[in-house]
Amino acid sequence: MTILRFATGDATGMHSLIKAVLVAVALAFATPVTAQDFEAGWEAAQRDDYVAAEREWRPLAEQGHADAQTKLGQLYAAGRGVPQDDAEAVNWYRKAADQGNALARIALGFNYFVGLGVEKDYIQAYVWGDLAVAQGSEEAIILRKLAASKMTPEEIAEARKLAREWKPKQLQQ
């Protein structure tokens, strides 16, 4: 219908067609640009240019890109390119962990284990480690064992139950 109005000279139809074409072009190029921006951030971090890495990763992280959220969390944890802030690192790790990012789950579990940016909580450390183990992460086995070594059998049972019942925050409504 829009094409018909455009062909007959209807100005409203022409505006609609132009908008549709612009949206299609923007969508067609959105994914490659995202991948390029993440890679540009990775390359900047490899050069120790953490300010540039943060500049590339932050917009992606804010749009929900789990790998960028994890990398931004790492920048905050180490104070590279941004002020060191364990609570902000935990914030970004949680966003990525909620999307299933195994590395973020390990980092979040570690923060709970040692109490960086969050109150020390061995049950939560175990839960996040267990979720990462379920994804095949061998590193998370160590985190889970460390947490279990500080827990009672009842706490381990509770942590296992929480891990089995875990659902991303956006699905818990």
Rg (CA), the chain: 22
Q: What's the CA gap between 109 and 130, in Å, rounded?
A: 9
Cβ neighbours of 98 (radius 10 Å): 20
Confidence of residue 103 (pLDDT cuts 50, 70, 90): very high
Q: What's the CA gap between 66 and 100, in Å, rounded?
A: 8
Please give the structure tokens belonging to residue 22: 């612009």
More confident residue, 27 or 89: 89
Question: pTM for the complete prediction?
Answer: 0.77
Contact 80, 65 (CB under 8 A): no
Please give the structure tokens belonging to residue 155: 């706490």
Give the pLDDT confidence of 146-164 residue by residue, as tens digits: 999 999 999 999 999 999 9
- Domain boundaries in the chain? 1-84, 109-173
- On the question of pLDDT at 28 being above 50, the answer is no
